[in-house]
């Protein structure tokens, strides 16, 4: 931007008027910059008008007042919190572990066993119900508990004698003293001690008479 400077040398001298000074030149430049809203004669006292804030809260060009001053003392509006209601969590949902085995907290009694059976997926839940009823029918005073995410059945003072566990394609039924049964259940390893087990698949028929003998 090029500013037109008044020529002090060629200015005509007029009697009764003051000679233009450097202050007059400076005010002439400020007038062209738009800082002054009105022109005044050189040598006269000029009252500066305060700059007006723009719509964004900032002051116009030439203002020495910082933009933050416009909003000083005014509290900022906090962002509106989402009014969408939080989705309720289903506390009764049971987590299924690897193979579909229900995750039930370790506890004694019939309630955790029934919670385990109810959470067994698909056809396995029906099998669990039949196994539980078979044990109770032949051992009315059976002791129940859930340990290591599996139902346990035992006799007071004699320890645990049966447990079952859900796997991907079958239910594993373990007899902790299975080596003494006749016939001996087919499942077992050299490291399983006296424990033996059977694997029951969906299409297998549960021989309740044979299970009761065991």
Between these two residues, 162 and 4, which has the higher pLDDT value? 162
Number of continuous H segments (helices) and E segments (strands) in the chain:
4, 6
| pLDDT at position 11 over 50 | no
* Nearest-angstrom CA–CA distance, 201 and 198: 10
- Number of Cβ within a 10 Å radius of residue 176: 19
pLDDT greater than 80 at residue 63:
no
Query: What's the distance, Cα to Cα, between the start and end of the chain in Å?
Result: 106
Whether residue 17 is predicted with pLDDT greater than 80 in this model: the reply is no
% of the chain residues with pLDDT over 90: 48
Q: With cut-offs at 50, 70 and 90, classify the pLDDT of residue 210.
A: confident
What pLDDT score was predicted for residue 206?
87
pLDDT at 19: 56
Spatial contact of 79 and 67, defined as CB atoms under 8 Å apart = no
Mean pLDDT value of segment 160-176: 97
Query: Could you tell me which of 161, 162, 170 has the C-alpha nearest to residue 127?
Result: 170
> Hey, what domains does the chain have and what are their CATH numbers?
19-61 (no CATH), 98-213 (3.90.1150.200)
More confidently predicted of 168 and 214? 168
Calpha distance 146→111 (Å, rounded)? 9
Mean pLDDT, residues 33-44: 51
pLDDT at 167 over 80: yes
Question: Is the distance from CB of 196 to CB of 177 less than 8 angstroms?
Answer: no
Q: In what order do the strands lie in the sheet with 159-166?
A: 107-108, 143-147, 150-155, 159-166, 170-175, 196-201
Q: What average pLDDT does range 191-213 have in this prediction?
A: 89
pTM assigned to the model = 0.57
């Amino acid at each position: 931007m090029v500013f037109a400077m008044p020529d002090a040398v060629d200015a005509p001298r007029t009697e009764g008027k003051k000679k233009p000074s450097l202050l007059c030149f400076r005010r002439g430049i400020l007038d062209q910059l738009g800082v002054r809203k009105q022109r005044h004669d050189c040598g006269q006292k000029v009252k500066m008008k305060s700059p007006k804030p723009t719509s964004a809260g900032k002051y116009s060009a030439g203002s020495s007042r910082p933009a933050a001053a416009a909003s000083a003392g005014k509290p900022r509006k906090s962002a509106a919190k989402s009014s969408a209601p939080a989705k309720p969590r289903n506390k009764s949902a049971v987590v299924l572990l690897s193979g579909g085995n229900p995750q039930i907290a370790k506890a004694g009694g019939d309630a955790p066993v029934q919670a385990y059976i109810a959470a067994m997926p698909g056809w396995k839940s029906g099998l669990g119900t039949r196994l539980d009823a078979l044990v109770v029918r032949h051992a009315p005073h059976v002791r129940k508990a859930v340990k290591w995410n599996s139902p346990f059945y035992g006799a007071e003072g004699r320890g645990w004698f049966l447990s079952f566990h859900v796997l991907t394609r079958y239910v594993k039924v373990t007899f902790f003293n299975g080596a003494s049964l006749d016939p001996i259940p087919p499942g077992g390893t050299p490291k399983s001690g006296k424990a033996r087990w059977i694997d029951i698949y969906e299409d297998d028929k549960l021989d309740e008479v044979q299970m009761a003998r065991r």
